[in-house]
Amino acid sequence: MPGLCQFEVTTCSSEETINEFEALTRDAGRVQQDTLKKILEANADAEYLARFGLDGRTDAESYKSRVPLCVHSDVEPFIQRVAHGDSSSVITRKPITALSLSSGTTQGKPKFLPFNEELIENTLQVFRTSYAFRNREYTTGKGKALQFFYCSKQISTDGGVIATTATTNLYRSPRYREGMKGIRSQGCSPDEVIFGPDFHQSLYCHLLCGLIYSDEVRFVSSTFAHSLVQAFQTLEDVWEDLCADIREGVLSEKVTVPSIRQAVSRILKPNPQLADWIYNKCVRLSCWYGVIPALWPKAKYVYGIMTGSMEPYLKKLRHYAGHLPLISADYGASEGYVGCNIDPTVPPEQVTYAVLPNTGYYEFIPLEKSTGGEMENSASIHYIESGPVGLTEVEVGKIYEVVLTTFAGLYRYRLGDVVKIAGFHNSTPQLQFICRRSLVLSINVDKNTEKDLQFAVEEASKLLEGEKLGIVDFTSCVDTSSDPGRYVIYWELSSGTRDEVLSSCANALDLAFVDEGYNGSRKNKTIAPLELRILNKGTFKEILVHFLGLGGSVSQFKTPRFVNPSNSKVLQILNKNVTQSYFSTAYGL
Q: Which amino acid is located at 583 in the chain?
A: F
Q: Contact, 394 vs 316, CB < 8 A?
A: no
Look up the pTM and report it. 0.82
**Other Cβ atoms closer than 10 A to 312:** 21
Radius of gyration of the chain from its Cα atoms, rounded to whole angstroms:
24
Nearest to 32 by CA among 60, 55, 64: 60
Residue 163 CA to residue 166 CA, distance in Å, equals 9
What whole-number distance in Å separates Cα of residue 302 and Cα of residue 227? 12
Which residues pair with residue 223 across a beta bridge? Answer: none
d(CA 204, CA 207): 5
- CA 274/CA 215 separation, integer angstroms: 10
What is the per-residue pLDDT for 376?
A: 42
Q: CB of 88 within 8 A of CB of 549? A: no
Helix, strand, coil shares of the chain, percent, nearest 5, are: 40, 20, 35
| CA dist list (Å): 420 to 401, 429, 451 | 9, 10, 13
Q: What is the pLDDT of residue 198?
A: 87
Written as one string, the DSSP assignment of 368-417 is EEPSS--STT---EEEEE---EEGGG--TT-EEEEEEE-TTS--SEEEEE
Q: How far apart are CA 277 and CA 275, in angstroms?
A: 5
Q: How would you write the pLDDT of the chain (589 residues) with one tens digit per residue?
A: 333 334 343 344 788 889 999 999 999 999 999 999 999 999 998 999 999 988 889 999 999 999 999 998 898 999 899 888 888 888 988 888 888 777 655 555 678 888 888 888 888 888 889 888 998 888 877 788 899 988 877 777 878 777 777 777 777 777 666 655 434 447 899 989 988 888 899 999 999 999 999 999 999 999 888 889 999 999 999 999 999 999 999 999 999 999 999 999 999 999 999 999 999 999 999 889 999 999 999 999 999 999 887 888 898 999 999 999 999 998 888 888 899 999 999 999 999 999 999 999 999 999 875 544 433 444 455 556 678 999 999 999 999 999 999 999 999 999 988 899 999 999 999 999 988 777 678 887 778 888 888 889 989 989 988 777 888 999 999 988 888 889 999 999 988 888 899 999 999 999 998 888 888 888 888 888 999 999 999 898 888 888 777 766 676 677 888 888 777 888 999 999 999 999 999 887 5
| Cα–Cα distance measured from residue 476 to residue 474, given in angstroms and rounded to the nearest whole number | 7
Region of 468 please: left (phi>0), alpha (psi -120 to 50) or beta. left
8-state DSSP, 346: S
Give the model's pLDDT for residue 547. Answer: 79
Q: What is the pLDDT of residue 256?
A: 94
What is the pLDDT, as a whole number, of residue 347? 93
The residues, ordered by sequence, that sit 6+ positions from 57 with a Cβ below 8 Å of its Cβ are 40, 63, 66
Residues 6+ apart with CB under 8 A from 466: none
Residue 553 has a pLDDT of 67
Q: Please tell me the predicted confidence (pLDDT) of residue 12.
A: 46
User: What are the extents of the domains in the chain?
Assistant: 118-328, 440-588
Please confirm whether the linkage preceding 484 is cis (ω < 30° from 0): yes
Is 140 in contact with 21 (CB distance < 8 Å)? no
CA separation for the pair 261, 256 (Å, rounded): 7
Sheet strands side by side (includes 98-101): 112-115, 98-101, 162-165, 155-156
Nearest alpha-carbon partner for 486 in 443, 523, 516: 443
- Find the Cα–Cα–Cα–Cα dihedral 426, 224, 562, 153, rounded to 10°: 120
Give the whole-angstrom CA distance, residue 232 versus residue 151. Answer: 19
Q: What angle do CA 265, 269, 272 make, to 5 degrees?
A: 140
Closest CA to 251 of 237, 240, 259, 261: 261
The reported pLDDT for the residue numbered 452 is 87
Q: Which helix (H) or strand (E) holds 540?
A: helix 539-549
Segment holding 441, helix H or strand E: strand 440-441
